Amino acid sequence: MASDSQSLAVRRALFFTGLVVLAEPLAATMLLSFVVFMVRDFPAVNERSVAFWCGVITSAFFVAQVFTAPLYGAVSDRLGRKPVLLFGLVGSAVCTVLYGISGNLTMAIISRALCGFFNGNAGVSRTSVGEFAANNGIHQGRAFSIFGLCTAMGTLLGPLLGGFLCQPTEKYGFTGPAGIFAQYPYLLPCAISACYNIIVVVLCIPYLEETNLDISKPSRELARTEDEETPLIAPRGDEATLKSAPKRTRSLVLLIGGHAIIALHAISFDEMYPAIAATKLPIGLGFTSSDIARTLLFLGPIVLTVQFVGYPMLSQRLTYATLWRISSILFLVVYISFGFVLELPNKSLLQWSCLYLLLGMRIAAVVIGYTSVAILLTLSAPPNHRGITVSFAQAAISASRAVGPTVAGALWSWGLLNGLKAPFDQNILFVFQCIVATLQLVTSFGLSIESS
């Protein structure tokens, strides 16, 4: 009976932690579907500069995260994870609404930067998941499946939410109270995202567990030594790295760098895939918006299957470092092959089959890669500084997300205009992604985790 009660408490805690984790990718990606139309509606913006200002608005969120993520991590080490998470959710809700009512570029950029400021606690939520697993004796792969699932689903749901709910008056004839959605056509998805944050805060005040034992149970934490804490939750082979300070330092550097690397090539693909798919033949796929949406919706079931079935099974048999390496190889296969899919007969059964196969492999690599590197960092971080360590990794991710779209777009445009032959034509983008994915593979060999 007690075991059932404890199991219920664990599931409840993971559920509410997942709600918190989901908020950040929703806030980060929601505008991607409508930012182009929003910028076009702003006064004094000519068509040629729309793409530039879209990049500035999108990047403002991540640039702010770069500077605030370590700050949130340090504060959470001192004050606890829970108050920092709830503070960020409330601030993000307010700034998301401000973005929805922006009437000019200045307000849009400032509100998105402030939204990124309050979402700097994404690293804190990851730390909380890892600590919750450690505190309750849960396998890290199972606990972090919640983190990976919510991150992936937020990335998929954000653009869908923004795309379907923006401009509701024009699309559905819905003007809202006092015609507010007619006056502010991009407010509805922002308001719903803000309401989600507030509801999560209300639910988490009584139910979200404080995982920083220095705050919640100091006597228990002081009684535990570093060597006692970590091997209990690591799979066979992963504990070797944690027993040597030099190896720990090297692993931390490689893992934080690994976060930046996977984010760089992942965001470059995420941002450019819709553009490539919509580009006219023979360069792109010539897809309509419905075709693109169909391919993205296909990924939802794959995320669920890999996260809840595939990853827990793999993590029971393989070390997290090996899984990190496998994700690198999957990314390389996808990036090497994608250019060839563009050459297949347009919208043929063969092209659709190959495209779905590569997109499925890639989303599996995203789930495996992000989950594995997050667990490895949590295991390697010093317990008393886990919050700030993970937040530095989050800052690295944000930095890559800030520059990745610009670099990818510049490479694609340069490849289209330079008149050179493959691989220096538009395929230069895939060459860049292959190089970055290779760097991810290199970091997996420097972790020294396999010896046991």
Contacts of 253 (CB under 8 A, 6+ apart): none
The residue ranges of every structural domain in the chain are 10-207+229-234+242-444
Kindly list the distances between the CA atom of residue 136 and the CA atoms of 87, 150, 224, 226, 237, in Å, as whole numbers in the listed order: 25, 21, 14, 16, 21
Return the DSSP state at 235. P
Task: Give, in degrees to the nearest 5, the angle at Cα 95 between 398 and 189.
Answer: 95
Q: The pTM is what?
A: 0.74
Highest mean pLDDT among 30-39, 64-73, 104-113, 442-451: 104-113
Cα–Cα distance, 358 to 343 (Å, whole number) = 14
Structure tokens at 288: 């309509």
Reply yes or no on whether the pLDDT at 432 is more than 80.
yes
Number of Cβ within 10 Å of residue 172's Cβ equals 12
Q: What is the mean pLDDT of residues 365-371?
A: 90
Structure tokens at 155: 């990335």
162-201: pLDDT as tens digits: 888 888 998 889 999 999 999 999 999 999 999 999 999 9
Reply yes or no on whether the pLDDT at 148 is more than 60.
yes
Confidence class for position 112, pLDDT limits 50, 70, 90: very high
Structure tokens at 35: 């930012």
Q: Name which of 450, 431, 139 is nearest 314 in CA terms.
A: 139
Q: Which residue has the tokens 């530039």?
A: 52
Cα–Cα distance, 254 to 157 (Å, whole number) = 31
Q: Which residue has the tokens 């970055």?
A: 436
Q: Crossing angle for the helix pair 2-29 and 187-207, nearest 10 degrees?
A: 150
Number of Cβ within 10 Å of residue 339's Cβ equals 17
Highest mean pLDDT among 21-25, 321-325, 424-428: 321-325
Confidence class for position 242, pLDDT limits 50, 70, 90: very low
The dihedral through the CA atoms of 240, 242, 247, 250 has a sign that is: positive
Exposed e or buried b per residue across 150-162, where buried means at least 16 C-beta atoms within 10 angstroms of its C-beta: bbbbbbbbbbbbb
Q: Is 447 left (phi over 0), alpha (psi -120 to 50) or beta?
A: alpha
Cα–Cα distance, 279 to 291 (Å, whole number) = 12
Structure tokens at 187: 């407010």
Q: Name which of 307, 363, 301, 312 is nearest 334 in CA terms.
A: 363
Kindly list the distances between the CA atom of residue 71 and the CA atoms of 223, 309, 389, in Å, as whole numbers in the listed order: 28, 35, 11
Q: Name which of 215, 144, 145, 141 is nearest 383 in CA terms.
A: 215
- The pLDDT of residue 316 is 87
Domain 10-207+229-234+242-444 superfamily per CATH: MFS general substrate transporter like domains (1.20.1250.20)
- The pLDDT of residue 4 is 57
- The pLDDT of residue 255 is 93
Q: 432 near 446, Cβ under 8 Å?
A: no
Q: What is the mean pLDDT of residues 373-402?
A: 84
Backbone φ and ψ of 105, nearest 5°? -60, -45
Kindly list the distances between the CA atom of residue 265 and the CA atoms of 13, 109, 321, 408, in Å, as whole numbers in the listed order: 33, 25, 19, 9
20-40: pLDDT as tens digits: 989 988 998 888 778 878 888
Confidence class for position 96, pLDDT limits 50, 70, 90: very high
Alpha helices in 230-308 (DSSP H): 245-278, 289-297, 299-305
- For the chain, the residue count is 452
Q: 378 near 156, Cβ under 8 Å?
A: no
